[in-house]
Structure 1
Amino acid sequence: MGRHENPLDASAGPVAELAGALRRLRHDAGNPPYQRMARRCRYSAATLSRAAAGKRLPTLGVLLAYVGACGASSDGWEARWHHASKELTAQSPGRNISPYKGLTRFDHTDHALYFGREQLAEDLWDLTRREPVAALLGPSGSGKSSLLRAGLVPRLRQRESGPARGAVVRIITPGEHPFTTHRSLLPSAGAQLPGTFLIVDQFEELFTLCNDPAERERFIAALLPARGTSSRFRVVLGVRADFSSYCLEHPGLAAVVRGASLAVTRMNPAELREAIVKPAQAHGLVVERALTARLTADVADNGFALPLLSHALLETWNRRRGRTLTLDSYERAGGLHGAIAQSAEDVYTRLDTAQADVARRVLLRMIAPGADGAPDTRRSVTRSELASLGDGRTTDKVLESLTRARLITLDTAAAGLAHEALISAWPRLGGWIEQDREKLRFHRWLTEAAGAWEAVGRERDVRISPVRLAQFGAYASLREDLTSLESDFLAAGTATHRRALRDRRAARAMGSLLVVTTAFAAALAWKQRQLLRTARSIGPALSVRPPTPPPWNGRGPWTAP
């Protein structure tokens, strides 16, 4: 540690201990200036500096960004953060850490706060023990991701015995290139790890984000061989119910949906009360009975509304009175339907003009607009995409604001909406999508195509259809939203198109000249043939013998008589 460092005593608490570890990591990396670290990770220098100050627990995204900016591996740091978070909660229950997740899903580290789904989690665990490939089906808002992560994963790790004891659990989402990205983890494509459970969350991304039918088929084929075999490699698919029809079009997936699936059901009143009250009790808090009754009734009237419930509870906790969550605080937060919109509007309206513009562009990049009646879905956005949306400081400010409000999730590699519920619950976002729906569809195609072009080495003669080029011409405002890769792809495709046009014009000109030349030659030949025929027909009549001159008399030149 550097001579001028003044580390806090690790005994001062979990936050100070974690901050001290960050400072040591930076010292071991040569004490790079915070400005340089900020350029590496896109968080501001001030944010990184505060993470190592030890005054408050940084977000997980900031912590991982700090580690990455020091050139270190993130292995173990997420676990250290969760450990510090739990210790902080134990030391000051109910004060600093919310017992509710808002729009963010429950993870396996949150299982101590995950209530109301015990029976469904048991049923899912039992299904995975019987079936090599199983599917969890449920509509948006039913809590599938939380059930997989906070319900199933702890059971897999704690209860597996016999041959599967010590099972490795891996969780992936398909993304735009599912087979290419996750090949090494797939049971029939990469290295076999006995006793591995592969959880494919948000399996519907295979149909909403992956536009390559061949890659989609390879991914499915790599998942399915485990079915009907004695393989210790197990697969669990989390599928949004409105995309189950897509699965039924594939024979292998159809067999899984029909014979090895579990449907996520609505919580009954008792389960809802557990989900509302028990997390608060774990933090030493009290939920007013009137609030519990109101929340139970509101959710019962709105079907699958768990993200709305969780966010409303988070905002109620933010407005609590002492240790009590009250009905009045719930109503001030906007209630079940208004809490998300109110939170989003509060964040958006505090941004200045430049930041608000970046926020709009950031959020729209996180949308995959549905086609042919399919619902709009969220998509993960890479850091390289975000870097194109404004100057670094403005983008950082926007991302931090949206993350702090739990509207988006953010790590060192990517960002995305915390939940698709935000799309329908925030009218402003829904209006942006409807206003730019066709442009968004074109932009999603462009991002995917540019990525594929990059993957094959940016070939110079890449071809873009004239229809796509015409679409880009119609969306002039899209130019300012393009990444450098997307701009380069369009430039290369436009250059190829122009070369093809020049070649076609040259070919047409040459063809026209050839036609004229051929016609002239044909006419000349015809004319020559006509003259020859005419000469032959009148030749005998013109054969007149010339007069014989008189003999020469030898005295001088002959002269005409």
Structure 2
Amino acid sequence: MREQELITTREEFGQALTRLRESAGVSVRQVAAKVGAGIAPSTLGDWFAGRGLPSLSSRDLLVEVLRVCGVSQDADVEQWLNAWHRVRRAPGRRPAGPEPYRGLAAFGTEHAEWFFGRAALTEQLVARLAEPGLRLVVGASGSGKSSLLRAGVVPALGREAAVFTPGPHPMAALARQRGEVLIVDQCEEVFTVCEDQDERARFIAALGEAAERAVVVAGLRADFYGQAMRHPELLAAMRSGQLVVGPMGEDELRAAVVEPARKAGIEIENGLVELLLREVAPARADGEAHEAGTLPLVSHALYAMWRESQGRRLTIADYRKVGGIGRAVADSAEKVYLGLSEHRQELARRLFLTLVHVASGTAATRRSMTIAEILADHDPAVAAEAEDVLDRFVAERLITVDLDKVQISHEALVTAWPRLAGWLESDRAGLVVGRDLAEAAARWAGEGEDPGALYRGSRLAVARLWAAGAGPHAAPGPQARRFLAASVERQEAEAAAQRRGTRRLRRLVAVLAALLLLTTAAVVVAARGQRDIGDQRNAALSGKVANESVALRPGNPALAAQLALAAQRLTPTTESRGAVLSTLGNPYANVLSAHAGAVYAVNYSPDGRRLATVALDGTLRMWDVTDPLRPGALSSVTGDAKGISAAAFAPGGQVVATAGNDNTAGLWDVRDPRRPVALATMGGHTMGIIGVAFSPDGTMLATASYDATAQVWNVSNPRKPYLLSTLEGAPKELSDVVFSPDGRTLAITAFSNDVMLWDVGDPRHPERLPDLRGHTRSVLAAAFHGDTLATGGFDDTVRLWDLRDPRRGRHLATLSGHEDGVVAIDFSPDGRSLATGSYDRTARLWDLTDVQAEPIVMAGHSNTVYTVRHSPDGRVLASGGRDDTVRVWDLRRPLLGGQRGTVYALAYSPDGRLLATAGHPTIKIWDVSGDPRPLATLTGHTDGVTAVAFARDGTLLASTDLDSSIRLWDLTDPARPRLLSETAAGIGNIFAAAVSPDGRSLVVAGEKFDVHVWDISAPGRPVLRAVAKGHEAAVNAVTFSPDGRLLATGGGDRTIRLWRATDLAPLGVAGGHGGTVYYLAFDRTGTLLASGSGDRTARLWNVRALDRPIAVLRGHADSVQSVAFSRDGRTLATAGDDRTAMLWDIADPAAATPLATLTGHLEQVNKAAFSPDGATLATVSGDSTARLWPVDPGHAARRICALAFPPISPAEWRQYLPGVPYDPPCPGTATGRASAD
């Protein structure tokens, strides 16, 4: 072991440094002279004498001192720096010997000898690195990817390897690397801290090029998987066999705990390891895996225990002292924070917010900064304080200093420390504004500082308001400051020009009426000035509140919706309208926050009027859900102080069964839900009970327990239940139990891979039936509907089984999509869909009419979703989770799922009653005359369906695909569509299609440059009528004018071409777009044409003058894929690859202005279309969904007020609308919170 590794105190550091200096034969004064930089010999003397330590900002000086004293190898310098950091974070007494645990900090190459638990995974990955190529290592945050790469793979390779993180400038980082193997750790930084999209693409392409001659490994956080898939190089790596870093198995985790202690000569008290393993995942005693994200918490708890221990032994008392796994991180951070003065606490808040990157659609991520960047904006006195604050968190390993980089030690801290999570929640909107500003500035710089890309109006006002109050650590960077300054300069120049015109007019008026209007004019000007100032302030506040609403939407939908309305009422802005309309274009849930622990079960009464919820806090709560989205608290009773884990209503709705961790089940009389009365307690299990289920006739109750047994009770008289039988033979602890609808079969799941079936037709003599086998990990949940059983488990899947003959259960289908174990399942009342809850923190809805379809993801819970349950009418879904909340979801959804992948196209029928959505490779027909409901799925296409179009009266539908196929469908009965014809177009991939207004012609175009017109007047026998030539690249857009006389086409040659529809005679060509023309649309008059392009713009054209556009619409951050006119022609909708749709006011086309940006889609928006009545905008996306958005803010406001609950409180109003009198936007609502206390 090197000398530096034994240094633990300031004195030892000074002594070792002195020995180094003496070996080099130099004095302190000579060292000072050679280092220069103005450092005093007395300061160096303190370092060598052990009286002082180099500060963080003196790191570079320390390196120079080491060089002068003869340390020439970089590896040796790093060892000295590690010792320096170790001593700086050593506030007091430590156990003797080396540190066996890393805490939140990742393992580096120098810690390889202390890295245990990942031997098998290391061996797998090293085996894949024998040949050049790009390998992807994917895992959730906290799975240990960085440690695996640095401390596992690099030492095992036996070859020179360069490990680096991309940072804000990944190309520069890549250029500095040398080695046979390139390892990109935290590759997700290219999507977070790298703000330049072009540099991001170049970097990923460069990795692909490097992989042709070298081994390249990229470690990627799993929640950035979707963004990575958009890059061909990373997508190819995924397909060629990525390595998934899953949670550690029990044996692996045991090794990670025990082996470092053994190596360090530390004894572990008997029972401590088992306690640790049990508390990692109390609901997973299967010995297979532990929850993703747990590993860093375990590591920190071990480190904190080692710090607290007084000798060579770790004990259960040490574990309890540091707060266990659940509290060790939070307690460590809170201890440091509370030890700071109020001023330094504010410095700590700014420090942590600086070190976190917040983005829409993904969890917050840490980011690294240099010490110089962190301290740059402080004067020397405050800089010293900030450095001391930093030191204190470094000492607890909550922040890591690696060479000149500073970062939060692990992202687990973001959620594990409630104070930091609160800071992020309260300032999330500001952080998002700052991120958006940085990205806009990067785009502006990348486009040659195009003035058209500058901020203006309310968006500029919001950014300026944020920048003014951001504080030194959150303030915009140099590029963003230049962007803001340029935006302000441009806006002021425009305002000055307008004022000059106004002054000229005023001088004329003054000459004509100076004496008469002098006094009145002065008063008017003064009043107008005051009003202008007030309007500007309100507009800025409106935009700020609207952005906060968007940021709050996932976690607190009701508050977010009401803030959007308040912002809109304050000043209607693009942001406020977008926030209001987007509220109703996204899954909506009201949140109940009465429980003080994880919610394990929710259940509706059979009549749907009451909801029962139970939780770890030991309470059973009853809710009035007569108005299903406005639950009213009825009662709260304590049933099990150790926590209630299961609950079920008896079929009659008068009795509720509960069970929990005290090994008993209880029956409650809830005829008066305001006063539940305990009826009976059923004992017999030796461990906690995790599931209860009533038989369909209500005479039996089944319980499932951690003791690996199930019991069946007769509860005909709920005051005197008695045991009928005990079902034994399970290999491990049970996880769920459910009766079949006929009451004869009991399905039991356990922490094993199989599902047990029992015949309980004679409940006193139950018979074990053959198990259902197929799951590859523990099975956690089950639900019946008719003869179909659904089961879910830790293999992240749901499996459907045919149990018409329970003795010969047959596997029907497997549903995949969850990113972690499935722990809750419930069928909809009609059996057409299935709801699931998961450890991946989402609930999902699956369309069982097409089991290959992607599910609808309902995100909002901040932790595991333990329970889901439909209301009896199927219009509402309740979910509960580890975040202590119940969410009540409105299933009268604006979100239409059921597609198998990307949804490319959509079309309304002429009467607006039907909506067709087309994807890969199916078409869904929806009835949208009321609450949307699926009518039929059209199958037969063999590739992605790129276009759909209705003809005639809506009874004929045309569809085209990427396999050059044209299909015509009879929708006379839309629930039973009939294929009329299938035709091979012979033009390769078809990208666009349109039906003429008279329904007699179908025009199609695609990759072959030509435009084909088909006669479909006899839809059973389409005939090719004409071909138009002229485009010099693929044709992506075709459309007819409303009168059918004109045909417009556009494509990859960046031109728009106009043709006479009757004979395809060319009428004109429009140029000007800087990218592919993806979509075209005529307004109702046929004189205005809109185009959307890959140059990020939409343009408006007069078809009689195509030499230049009437207007260029800029607002999208990526390609514009679709354009659509409203029925009255006053509004244009655009949709693009930036995941948004936008609404534009084009009442005056030459002065088009943005009205609203609609947000919510998780991938690119491919098409948009207005409903024929103009009230709704439909969009389809790469996220496998279609969405229905209201376009009238007034109508949306009324809808929101009918949904949002509970109402905004005065305290919330003051927080988000300071200085504005409390005036809730939804009249007639009370200000109380839903509570059962």
TM-score range, shorter chain: 0.7 to 0.9
Contact kept, 8 Å, 2:167 with 2:368, in 1: the verdict is yes
Contact kept, 8 Å, 1:20 with 1:52, in 2: the verdict is no
2:185 pairs, out of 164, 181, 201, with 201
Q: Which residue of 1 aligns with 2:365?
A: 377
Q: Which residue of 1 aligns with 2:426?
A: 435
Corresponding position: 1:174 with 2:174: no
Contact kept, 8 Å, 2:195 with 2:442, in 1: the verdict is no
State the secondary structure of the residue aligned to 2:136: strand
- Identify the range of structure 1 (245-254 vs 445-454) with the bigger mean alpha-carbon deviation: 445-454
For 1:359 and 1:408, how far apart are their aligned partners in 2? 11
For 1:180 and 1:334, how far apart are their aligned partners in 2? 43
For 2:417 and 2:232, how far apart are their aligned partners in 1? 38
State the secondary structure of the residue aligned to 2:129: helix
Q: Which residue of 2 aligns with 1:344?
A: 333
Q: Which residue of 2 aligns with 1:52?
A: 48
Contact kept, 8 Å, 2:56 with 2:387, in 1: the verdict is no
State the secondary structure of the residue aligned to 2:490: helix
Contact kept, 8 Å, 1:68 with 1:74, in 2: the verdict is no
**Which runs of structure 2 are paired with 1:55-94 in the superposition (5 Å)?**
64-68=59-63, 75=74, 76-80=76-80
Contact kept, 8 Å, 1:145 with 1:201, in 2: the verdict is yes
Tell me the amino acid that sits aligned with residue 424 of structure 2: I
Tell me the amino acid that sits aligned with residue 207 of structure 2: L
Tell me the amino acid that sits aligned with residue 397 of structure 2: R
Corresponding position: 1:126 with 2:127: yes
Q: Which residue of 1 aligns with 2:257?
A: 276
Q: Which residue of 1 aligns with 2:16?
A: 17
Q: Which residue of 2 aligns with 1:289?
A: 270
State the secondary structure of the residue aligned to 2:32: coil
Note the residue ranges of structure 2 that are not aligned, 5 or more in a row. 1-10, 87-92, 283-289, 510-1237
For 1:154 and 1:178, how far apart are their aligned partners in 2? 25
Corresponding position: 1:489 with 2:470: no
Q: Which residue of 2 aligns with 1:465?
A: 455
- CA drift of 1:488 comes to 5.2
Corresponding position: 1:317 with 2:306: yes
Q: Which residue of 2 aligns with 1:9?
A: none
- CA drift of 1:252 comes to 2.1
Tell me the amino acid that sits aligned with residue 79 of structure 1: Q
- CA drift of 1:180 comes to 3.7
- CA drift of 1:402 comes to 1.0
2:201 pairs, out of 202, 206, 217, with 217
What is the TM-score of this pair, normalised by structure 1? 0.73
Per-residue CA distance 1:432-485 (angstroms, 9 max, x = gap): 00000011122234556778999999x999974125431134334214543784
State the secondary structure of the residue aligned to 2:252: helix
Tell me the amino acid that sits aligned with residue 203 of structure 2: F
Tell me the amino acid that sits aligned with residue 62 of structure 2: V
For 2:63 and 2:265, how far apart are their aligned partners in 1? 36
Contact kept, 8 Å, 1:94 with 1:283, in 2: the verdict is no
Q: Which residue of 2 aligns with 1:519?
A: none
- How many pairs does the alignment contain? 469
Per-residue CA distance 1:476-501 (angstroms, 9 max, x = gap): 42145437847953673355235522
Against the structure 1 CA distance between its residues 361 and 138, is the aligned structure 2 distance closer, same or farther, given a 3 Å change threshold? same
- CA drift of 1:211 comes to 2.5
- CA drift of 1:171 comes to 1.1
Q: Which has the higher contact order (CA 8 A, sep 6+)?
A: 1
Per-residue CA distance 1:272-321 (angstroms, 9 max, x = gap): 22111111122221111211111122224451211001100011111214
For 2:73 and 2:342, how far apart are their aligned partners in 1? 35
For 1:84 and 1:502, how far apart are their aligned partners in 2? 57
Contact kept, 8 Å, 2:14 with 2:47, in 1: the verdict is no
Against the structure 1 CA distance between its residues 74 and 64, is the aligned structure 2 distance closer, same or farther, given a 3 Å change threshold? farther
Tell me the amino acid that sits aligned with residue 48 of structure 2: A
- CA drift of 1:214 comes to 1.2
State the secondary structure of the residue aligned to 1:98: coil
For 2:263 and 2:84, how far apart are their aligned partners in 1? 17
State the secondary structure of the residue aligned to 1:289: coil
For 1:25 and 1:107, how far apart are their aligned partners in 2? 34
- Identify the range of structure 1 (478-487 vs 342-351) with the bigger mean alpha-carbon deviation: 478-487
- CA drift of 1:422 comes to 0.3
What is the TM-score of this pair, normalised by structure 2? 0.35
Against the structure 1 CA distance between its residues 26 and 260, is the aligned structure 2 distance closer, same or farther, given a 3 Å change threshold? farther
Tell me the amino acid that sits aligned with residue 386 of structure 1: I
For 1:104 and 1:249, how far apart are their aligned partners in 2? 31
State the secondary structure of the residue aligned to 1:129: coil
- CA drift of 1:21 comes to 3.3
State the secondary structure of the residue aligned to 2:463: helix
State the secondary structure of the residue aligned to 1:171: strand
Rg comparison, structure with higher value: 1
User: Structure 1 or 2: larger strand share?
Assistant: 2
Q: Which residue of 1 aligns with 2:541?
A: none
- CA drift of 1:95 comes to 1.0
**Which runs of structure 2 are paired with 1:379-458 in the superposition (5 Å)?**
379-387=367-375, 388=377, 391-411=382-402, 413-446=404-437
Against the structure 1 CA distance between its residues 273 and 361, is the aligned structure 2 distance closer, same or farther, given a 3 Å change threshold? same
State the secondary structure of the residue aligned to 2:101: coil
Tell me the amino acid that sits aligned with residue 268 of structure 2: V
For 2:135 and 2:54, how far apart are their aligned partners in 1? 34
Contact kept, 8 Å, 1:51 with 1:62, in 2: the verdict is no
Contact kept, 8 Å, 2:134 with 2:237, in 1: the verdict is yes
For 2:137 and 2:392, how far apart are their aligned partners in 1? 33
- CA drift of 1:249 comes to 2.2
Q: Which residue of 2 aligns with 1:115?
A: 116
Against the structure 1 CA distance between its residues 334 and 479, is the aligned structure 2 distance closer, same or farther, given a 3 Å change threshold? closer
Contact kept, 8 Å, 2:137 with 2:245, in 1: the verdict is yes
Contact kept, 8 Å, 2:35 with 2:61, in 1: the verdict is no
Against the structure 1 CA distance between its residues 28 and 171, is the aligned structure 2 distance closer, same or farther, given a 3 Å change threshold? farther
Corresponding position: 1:101 with 2:85: no
State the secondary structure of the residue aligned to 1:176: coil
Contact kept, 8 Å, 2:229 with 2:235, in 1: the verdict is yes
For 1:406 and 1:499, how far apart are their aligned partners in 2? 49
Against the structure 1 CA distance between its residues 257 and 436, is the aligned structure 2 distance closer, same or farther, given a 3 Å change threshold? same
